[in-house]
Amino acid sequence: MPEPTPSSDYDEAGLVAKGGPGDNAAPLTISEISALLKRTVEDRFGYVRVRGELSGVKRAASGHLYLCLKDESARLDGVMWRGSTQRLAFQPEDGLEVIATGKLTTYPGRSNYQIVIERMEIAGEGALLALLAKTRARLEAEGLFDRARKRALPFLPEVIGVVTSPTGAVIRDILHRLADRFPSRVVVWPVLVQGQGAAEQVAAAVDGFSRLPAGGPVPRPDVVIVARGGGSIEDLWAFNEEVVVRAIAASTIPVISAVGHETDTTLADFAADLRAPTPTAAAELAVPVREELFAQLAELALRKRRCALRPVSLGRERLEARAQRLPRPEALLSPYVQRADELAERLRRGLVERIAAARTALQQDAGRLSAPLLAARLHRAQDRLAAQRLTPAIVTSRIAAQRERLDALSRLMASLNPDSLLEKGYVRVTAADGRTLVTRAAAAGEPSLSLHFRDGELAVVPAEGRAPRPAARKPGPPPAQGTLL
């Protein structure tokens, strides 16, 4: 191809950009071309519905939600502003297939396009069940559904808390069933049971019942019933939310889950302490039948009376049977009466024989009691007494020995008497109670002292710390020292 002819007005290879022949279009800036693309995309795709799998779901601190929608061969960035995320009926997670409704727009900062999502829904019941199974497996791995943490319901609760809609048929069925079985006090916490914000309200109600203090103005329930009528899986989805499951698992009050009909199952049923197939069945499980209790009490009272009277009747029967086997009193006493008669006869005969024997013995001894015989026996006794007289020497020798022993004890007592030394010029010091003091320390601790001299006593007071004045000594030989012996 031949090269173009150089021209002074248009130089294709020049360094400075110049307009060509017939070119009246001014060059666009990056911002201008980005704005044109943005308007074009938004005008053409102002409302779209996109189906795809969520990936890279991230919630910013501002509340906006950033994510990516993808399929087998393409991906599309997306953003959902905070106002729209507050209307979501589920928690977006990676791997969940959804249908997003919004508009396409461009993001000039990165030269890409994205979808601004206004509404997002789960793509079909299959995807919803997949999300349910995934959430259930995750919460079950945390131990929220363990049977070991299930608590037994109180036998007869005084207060029953009900978390449900105040205008539906569920609360009327529960109240009617409670009135039939056992009228109890019911505290209703009104909540939404379907739609936006229902899960948060149910969780707040369960947690609020747990936070009620005992004895407060609002009575604290003994058991809580979380109830809702039947519906589709979308209608019951609020009770599959993680916030509701965690609130039921953390409740300090036993919880009965009564959501939907018997065939409906939610994650709240697994977290509750007891699952009821219907709200009416929940009321039946919460309280017993009062009439049955009355019948049981009457039966127990009857059994108690029978148990109390049974030993008496058995004892009476045994007593009568044994009384019939007892012999008559006459038969019991007849041997003893006969023996008493026999002994009385033997006693009479024995007394008669004893009197006869005594009379015979007295007649035989009468000859031996004559006066000459008695006088002879008296003389013999006087002779034996005279032979046993005592000599004075025996008595006087013992008296002399005892006198010598007494004299020795008197001499020993005189030598041990402390007052015997007073005759030799010694003084004995005693306290007020008569104790003899032998040390200076003992004498200094007494309030008063007594000095015992040969000719009497002298009361003195010790002067501690004052040195006695020395007495003037007279010239002369020192006195001779006495002896204690």
Say what the pTM is: 0.47
With a CB cutoff of 8 Å and minimum separation 6, the contacts of 116 are: 78, 79, 80, 81, 102, 103, 104, 105
The residue count for the chain: 485
Confidence (pLDDT) at 470: 47
pLDDT above 70 covers a percentage of the chain that reads 87
- Using the structure block, give the residue that is written with the tokens 């991230």: 58
At position 11, the amino acid (one-letter code) is D
> pLDDT of 94-137, one tens digit each?
878 888 898 888 887 777 888 899 888 877 666 677 777 888 88
**Is-contact 269 166, C-beta < 8 A?**
no
Start-to-end C-alpha separation, the chain: 171
The DSSP element (H or E) to which 76 belongs, if any, is strand 75-80
Percentages helix, strand, coil for the chain (3-state, rounded to 5) are 45, 20, 35
410: left (phi over 0), alpha (psi -120 to 50) or beta: alpha
Residue of 318 and 96 predicted with greater confidence: 318
For residue 400, give both structure tokens: 């002399």
Rounded Cα gap, residues 248 and 101, in angstroms: 34
pLDDT tier at 465 (50, 70, 90 boundaries)?
very low
Pairing type for strands 65-70 and 223-228 reads unpaired
- Do 251 and 274 meet the contact criterion of CB atoms below 8 Å apart? no
Total Cβ atoms within 10 A of residue 198: 21
Which residue reads 């006493």 in tokens? 333
DSSP calls for 414-459: HHH-GGGGGGGT--EEE-TTSPBP-SHHHHHTSS-EEEEETTEEEE
- CA angle centred on 422, ends 416 and 424, rounded to 5°: 100
What is the pLDDT confidence band of residue 477, given thresholds at 50, 70 and 90?
low
Q: Which of 304, 257, 315 is nearest to 281 (CA)?
A: 257
pLDDT of residue 283: 92
pLDDT above 80: residue 90: no
Tell me: the pLDDT tens digits for 380-390? 888 877 776 66
Closest CA to 117 of 89, 75, 93, 88: 88
pLDDT at residue 251 tops 80: yes
